[in-house]
């Protein structure tokens, strides 16, 4: 009975002193573009989104005006769900910025005000101009007709010549390659990601048109509004690829043990802030900063936890700084902290042959 009590106490001690949380962090492509993006974003996570006002009066076609209503929501929702950023919408926030100031120059001028009021690191300013489209007919493979022809040939059996003749005849009536209606859509989009602190800007201009096919054999032009929606989705995806890293996750240990009971209590307080249903890394950071201050900079656990916070924010420079400080203090988890540092090492740049063509 006594052995069981001691064993359970040891398990509880391990649970209290070192626990893990799932931390999301940015993963950059192994290209020069990816390395440049990593250097630009360093620490950028919360982004305020705004769209340059779109004047519907110059967009003559009714479907274009419907498209105007579609644009803001599509961009906001897509970045909110699929990008690394925490997106805040500036729409209808006249208390922060009047509509007359919603220009690139106005955003630059007021960026620090926006950052202070929204606690944002950057502003995503998107400009969408009137789409252009053209229709034409192009030959397209009908894979269903091809599959049927292959099956007929395979089933020819003994009466092969007659069956092959029938298969050839059917291809005349239902050819494998059929004229099909195509709409080429070009949506001029420019996206600027503006850092609040420095005003430095990363610009993406979409110049590639989208090609939308009708059903195989239907020579009519694809409908304009669904085509615009598809083209917009493709453009947003390209903007995300060039402005936002992918999101990876890692189970990382959070350390809550210290010789000083007051420091230990603050370390545990920080862990509890991120262990519940509504994790709050900001409050966790504040608790760990207090622990670091209480320990007069001598708590390796506080340093390691703060490094993990900056790692999750994509601020690799500060994360590495705190991991190094934790390692220098000689804690028991030096090898583990070194492994975490390796996650932030810049990958070797791969050849981008396709972009050089």
pLDDT digit string (tens) for 326-357?
Answer: 999 988 888 888 888 887 776 666 555 444 43
Residues 162 and 304 occupy one common structural domain: no
Q: Tell me whether residue 8 is in a domain.
A: no
pLDDT of residue 350: 59
The encoded tokens of residue 335 equal 């090898």
Q: Tell me whether residue 349 is in a domain.
A: no
d(CA 113, CA 64): 34
pLDDT of residue 135: 94
Residues 90 and 198 occupy one common structural domain: yes
If pLDDT is split at 50, 70 and 90, which confidence band does 30 have? Answer: confident
Residues 152 and 62 occupy one common structural domain: no
Is residue 173 scored above 80 in pLDDT? no
Q: How many CB atoms neighbour CB 139 within 10 A?
A: 12
Q: Tell me whether residue 21 is in a domain.
A: no
Residues 148 and 268 occupy one common structural domain: no
pLDDT of residue 66: 81
Q: Tell me whether residue 350 is in a domain.
A: no
Is residue 308 scored above 80 in pLDDT? yes
Taking residues 55-78, report their average pLDDT: 75
Q: Which residue has the higher pLDDT, 184 or 14?
A: 184
Name residue, tokens 């003559």.
60
d(CA 302, CA 266): 9
| Number of domains forming the structure of the chain | 3
Is residue 288 scored above 80 in pLDDT? yes
Q: Tell me whether residue 5 is in a domain.
A: no
Q: Tell me whether residue 3 is in a domain.
A: no
d(CA 167, CA 161): 10
- Nearest to residue 49, comparing CAs of 66, 30, 24, 74? 74
Residues 260 and 113 occupy one common structural domain: no
* Helical segments of the chain, H only: 2-17, 32-41, 62-82, 104-118, 143-154, 160-173, 224-243, 261-275, 281-294, 300-312, 316-328, 334-343, 353-356
The CATH number of the domain where 198 resides is what? Answer: 3.40.50
pLDDT of residue 261: 93
Q: What element of type H or E holds 25?
A: strand 18-27
Is residue 4 scored above 50 in pLDDT? no
Residues 86 and 156 occupy one common structural domain: no
Q: What does residue 110 show for φ and ψ, rounded to 5 degrees? A: -105, 10
Residues 100 and 236 occupy one common structural domain: yes
Q: Do residues 264 and 256 make contact, with C-beta atoms less than 8 angstroms apart?
A: yes
Q: Tell me whether residue 354 is in a domain.
A: no
Is residue 299 scored above 90 in pLDDT? yes
d(CA 308, CA 285): 9
Is residue 323 scored above 60 in pLDDT? yes
Task: Spell out the SS3 assignment of 215-243.
Answer: CCCCCCCCCHHHHHHHHHHHHHHHHHHHH
d(CA 123, CA 121): 7
Residues 202 and 55 occupy one common structural domain: yes
pLDDT of residue 164: 54
Residues 205 and 122 occupy one common structural domain: yes
Domain range for 147 is: 134-181
User: Strand pairing partners for 13?
Assistant: none
Residues 35 and 116 occupy one common structural domain: yes
Buried b (16+ CB within 10 A) or exposed e, 280-293: ebeebbbbbbbbbe
If pLDDT is split at 50, 70 and 90, which confidence band does 97 have? Answer: confident
d(CA 32, CA 38): 10
pTM recorded for the entire structure: 0.73
Residues 159 and 67 occupy one common structural domain: no
Taking residues 110-139, report their average pLDDT: 91
User: Strand pairing partners for 51?
Assistant: 126
Residues 81 and 125 occupy one common structural domain: yes
Is residue 7 scored above 50 in pLDDT? no
Q: Tell me whether residue 333 is in a domain.
A: yes
pLDDT of residue 159: 57
The CATH number of the domain where 318 resides is what? Answer: 1.25.40.10
pLDDT of residue 177: 82
Is residue 224 scored above 50 in pLDDT? yes
Q: Do residues 337 and 255 make contact, with C-beta atoms less than 8 angstroms apart?
A: no
């Amino acid at each position: 009975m006594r052995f069981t009590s001691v064993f359970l106490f040891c398990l509880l001690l391990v649970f209290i002193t070192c626990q893990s949380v799932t931390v999301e962090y940015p993963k950059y492509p192994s290209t020069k573009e990816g390395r440049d993006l990593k250097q630009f974003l360093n620490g950028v996570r919360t982004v305020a989104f705004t769209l340059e006002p779109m004047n519907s009066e110059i967009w003559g076609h009714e479907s274009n005006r419907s498209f105007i209503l579609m644009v803001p929501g599509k961009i906001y929702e897509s970045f909110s769900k699929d990008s690394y950023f925490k997106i805040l919408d500036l729409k209808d926030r006249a208390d922060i910025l009047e509509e007359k100031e919603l220009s690139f120059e106005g955003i630059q001028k007021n960026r620090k005000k926006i950052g202070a009021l929204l606690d944002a690191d950057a502003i995503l300013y998107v400009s969408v101009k009137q789409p252009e489209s053209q229709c034409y007919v192009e030959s397209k493979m009908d894979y269903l007709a091809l599959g049927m022809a292959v099956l007929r040939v395979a089933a020819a059996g003994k009466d092969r010549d007659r069956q092959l003749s029938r298969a050839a005849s059917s291809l005349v009536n239902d050819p494998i390659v059929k004229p099909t209606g195509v709409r080429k859509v070009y949506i001029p989009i420019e996206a600027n990601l503006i850092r609040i602190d420095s005003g430095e800007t990363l610009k993406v201009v979409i110049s590639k048109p989208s090609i939308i096919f009708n059903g195989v054999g239907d020579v009519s032009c694809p409908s304009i509004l669904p085509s615009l929606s598809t083209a917009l989705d493709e453009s947003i995806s390209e903007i995300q690829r060039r402005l936002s890293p992918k999101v990876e996750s890692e189970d990382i240990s959070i350390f809550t043990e210290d010789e000083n009971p007051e420091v230990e209590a603050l370390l545990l307080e920080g862990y509890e802030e991120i262990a519940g249903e509504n994790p709050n890394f900001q409050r966790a950071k504040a608790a760990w900063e207090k622990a670091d201050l209480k320990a007069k900079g001598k708590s390796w656990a506080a340093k390691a936890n703060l490094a993990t916070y900056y790692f999750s924010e994509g601020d690799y420079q500060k994360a590495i700084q705190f991991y190094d400080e934790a390692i220098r203090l000689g804690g028991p988890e030096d090898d583990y902290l070194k492994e975490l540092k390796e996650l932030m090492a810049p990958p070797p740049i791969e050849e981008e042959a396709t972009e050089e063509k």
